[in-house]
Amino acid sequence: AGRASGGGPGPAPRPADPVRPRRRSRLRRNRYRGRNLVVLAAFLLPAAALYGWLFVGAVGQTVLYSFYDWNAVSDPVPVGLDNFTRLVSDPVFGQALVNTLYMTALLVFVQLPGAFLLAWFLYRRVRGWRFLRTVYFLPVVISTAAVALLFGFLYEPNFGVLNALLERVGLDDLGRDWLGDPLTAMTAVSVPLLWKEVGLMMIILLAAMQGLPGEVLEAAEIDGVNGYQRLRHVVLPLLSRAIGLCLLLCITTAFKVFDFVLLMTGGGPGNRTEITGSYLYAQGFERFEYGYGSAVAVVITAVVVVVVSIPRLFRLVTGRRTA
């Protein structure tokens, strides 16, 4: 009893459980994340609802009206697939699709390589590269109407700069009405678009080049790789995502542009410059055939999805083969 009531040492205290603080901190983090998700959802839901109403609803309405004959005044009349049948059999739409694919080819095989060369030139940090970067990008911010008016003066058959230059160098036989000749009209309309949009592609590629890992380029230089080999086997693979983005922009730009055609030729001569964007604009906003115009929009969207998917499928197939 004396030992029990004495001042001798009692049992040793139990060590603190290290698991409990960890559980508590984990619970606190989970609660904090949960509150953040609630706040984030509260801010995003109104924007998501507005997006769904304006975009998803508009797309659904377009698909729905493509099966109707409607002029926005009288009541819609269901016509089934008649709008699509008419579209497939319309030679003007076929010509517009061919012209759009031609413009796409120019953007992909002329504008994109040109933008890459400009970006690579600026990436080499030549003297005055910042000023040149601004000059190359300047056409992007110029309005389409101003660019179309400028090139209209250049192409003018009687007093235009282009024919005057050809006459000055002794090639006056090559002078012509560039926008009125069926052989040159489509190319003449495409050139202003290439000139205006090349700066955007250049900026995207230049930003990607400036983000290249320096140690990889230095290692390639140490290994004795020349400039061409470094560009082909090191730089291009590292820029594949940026090039893919530019390729996507080229395709979508060709299928949605219509303002250059509208301002410079109106689709002529003889529908030789008609493209899908101008054809859609004419059906919907000039002839007020909203049902048929909706069918045109649906078909154009399907074509764009197919064309955009081709590079992705090609990369997927080649990736599996190399694996």
pLDDT in tens, 127-183: 888 999 999 999 999 999 999 999 999 999 988 899 999 999 988 888 899 999 999
CA atoms within 13 A on the CB side of 92: 15
Long-range contacts of 262-266 (CB under 8 A, 24+ apart): 263/144, 263/145, 263/148, 263/149, 263/152, 264/148, 264/151, 264/152, 264/179, 264/188, 264/189, 264/192, 265/179, 265/185, 265/189
Ordered structural domains, the chain, with CATH? 101-271 (1.10.3720.10)
Whether 279 shows a pLDDT value over 50: the answer reads yes
Mean pLDDT for the chain overall: 86
Whether 56 shows a pLDDT value over 90: the answer reads no
pLDDT value for 322 = 47
Which tops the pLDDT comparison, 98 or 316? 98
- pTM score: 0.80
Q: What is the DSSP letter of 155?
A: H
Whether 81 shows a pLDDT value over 90: the answer reads yes
pLDDT value for 97 = 93
Query: 3-class SS at 125?
Result: coil
The mean per-residue pLDDT over the stretch 51-64 comes to 87
Q: What is the pLDDT of residues 205-223, one digit of tens each?
A: 999 999 888 888 788 778 7
pLDDT value for 63 = 93
Determine the Cα–Cα distance for residues 81 and 86; give it in Å rounded to an integer.
9
CB 292, CB 86: distance < 8 Å: yes
Q: What is the pLDDT of residues 223-263, one digit of tens each?
A: 777 777 888 888 888 898 899 899 999 999 999 898 999 99
Whether 25 shows a pLDDT value over 70: the answer reads no
Q: Cβ atoms within 10 A of the Cβ of 266, count?
A: 13
pLDDT value for 226 = 78
